[in-house]
Structure 1
Amino acid sequence: MDPSAYATAVVAQTSTFADWVHGKDPSTRVPTCPEWTLADLVDHVGSTQRMIAMLVGEKMTEPSAAFARYVPGPTDSEQWRAWLTEGAAEAQRAFDSVDADTPVWDPSGAADGVAFWSRRLFGEASVHRADAAAALDERYDLAPEHAVEAVEDWLDTMTSRGYWENKPEFAAAMRGNGQTLHFHATDATGEWLARREPDMVALERTHATADVTVRGPATDLLLVLSRRQPLAAASSLEIDGDRALLDRWIDHMDWVTGD
């Protein structure tokens, strides 16, 4: 998807999220992010959207000003729907105001700017809506092609040069000598090969034989890879090969709380 299409999808997902959380008990625990309450989740989603809207809309090439202008969420959950809806609309206006190649700071190390943030915001919306569904016992649905986009965001972000360099504990855990993991969506077009190298995790979009392969519906891949659903509970996923290698991968996909 292009940045405008991602932004439109973010608005749609945020609308559903906002309907779910509106008026709910702020102290409700979020089981997929055990350190968070529902208020923490709402604050994170809305504040992140506003921060990204600032970065993109103001074409910031240095992020400190956006971080300094953090906008906390309302304490009254009856205000959550309007606040979340406006945050998503701000983000959409920001992306509509720039070209895809507009220089904007991003943490990936690849200088992808607007393209990075539009996809990242979509991935955020997809994963955190799953958090809200878990907290409020709502049914989580995501179109397979959108789930593929969210898996792409998760894997690309987690294997980026910027993440490797800024998360030394992740780098230490993921260093390898060529071990490979293949993730294959079966209900939409999406395949990824991750290779653990000494200085990076290389990610390719390809079909290949690997040390371990996981295949199944894209939404289930997303929920398992983002640690929103235990692997043992994902009966639709087929696993071939080195299960310990897969377990290690998932164990270190620890970008779960405070992401």
Structure 2
Amino acid sequence: MLGLDFDLLAKRLREHTAGLAATIDGLDPAMPVPTCPEWQVRDLVVHVGHAHRWAAEIIRTDRRVPLPDPSEATPGPPANWPEWLRLGATLLIDAVQAVGPQAKVWIVAAEGPAIFWLRRLLNDTTVHHADAAFTAGVDYKLDPDHAADVITEGLQLISYSGAEKLKPEVAELRGTGQTLLWRPEEPGLDGWRITRTPEGVRWEHSAEDADVTVSGPVRDLLLMFTGRLPVGGVTGDRALLDHWVTHTAF
């Protein structure tokens, strides 16, 4: 797991931003992104580049900053997009380093350490790097520990006590004890066992059987978990899994 190691998170953010930048370089800005049906390549670039800058401004100013309107984005001409993306990652890394990774800042619904944003935007960029790869028709590689951390953070966000205010669909994930297991095939990686309770989603690292289980390489589990690949390797209650996927899509 990547956890909250500043140097490792910064290194990975640079790597995946650079990978995304290289992948979109030369693509038609109006080319559809198949894994984000409402987006074109320009939307993908704007989302990632502005998210980095948005978080950096939050950290620098220590205040809540409105999320930029994508329609007002100014990433410059397409030829400059790769450098614009890489600069955004640098601005975010520098902002966290300047205040200190543990400095308290606004983190969506509360206060938390500035490094929260480094992990959050790394994982967001990691998934959008996959979007770029699918769009360009090129291979997408991801270290197993990194893929595992993206799933873990996703579950932390979904099970957060204020998640329903930020994403109302999460309220539909309440249940009466139904369980789902995402089981990676890599030795040494723990699975994620999710329980739908009346109070909301709860999860733990476990390999214990569940009502429905999804098994496969952890990279593929991540892409299925985030809606980038059709869900396969399923045993058990498929309807329960389909309901989960529908209400966690982003």
| Cα distance per residue 1:150-190 (max 9 Å; x no partner) | 1112222233223222222331x212011111112222523
Q: What is the identity percentage for the equivalent residue pairs of Structure 1 and Structure 2?
A: 36
The corresponding residue for 2:16 is 13
The corresponding residue for 2:166 is 166
Distance 2:120 2:41 in 1: 21
How far has the Cα of 1:69 moved from its partner?
9.5
**2:175 pairs with 1:176:** yes
* Contact 2:179-2:195 within 8 A present in 1 as well: yes
| Cα distance per residue 1:164-218 (max 9 Å; x no partner) | 22222331x2120111111122225232121111221112223322211222211
Let me know the Cα RMSD of the aligned residues: 2.1
**2:202 pairs with 1:207:** no
* Contact 1:25-1:38 within 8 A present in 2 as well: yes
* Contact 1:175-1:201 within 8 A present in 2 as well: yes
The corresponding residue for 1:246 is 241
- Mark the CA change 1:166 to 1:74 in structure 2 (over 3 Å): closer, same or farther: closer
The corresponding residue for 1:82 is 83
The corresponding residue for 1:36 is 39
**Which runs of 5 or more residues in structure 1 are unaligned?**
none
* Letter in structure 1 aligned against 2:116: F
| Cα distance per residue 1:108-147 (max 9 Å; x no partner) | 65x4432432221121111101111111111111111111
The corresponding residue for 1:189 is 189
SS, match of residue 183 in structure 2: strand
- Mark the CA change 1:183 to 1:83 in structure 2 (over 3 Å): closer, same or farther: same
TM-score computed with the length of structure 1 as normaliser: 0.87
Distance 1:112 1:185 in 2: 30
How far has the Cα of 1:75 moved from its partner?
4.5
Distance 2:149 2:108 in 1: 19
- Mark the CA change 1:157 to 1:213 in structure 2 (over 3 Å): closer, same or farther: same
Distance 1:201 1:157 in 2: 10
SS, match of residue 88 in structure 1: helix
- Mark the CA change 1:68 to 1:146 in structure 2 (over 3 Å): closer, same or farther: closer
TM-score computed with the length of structure 2 as normaliser: 0.90
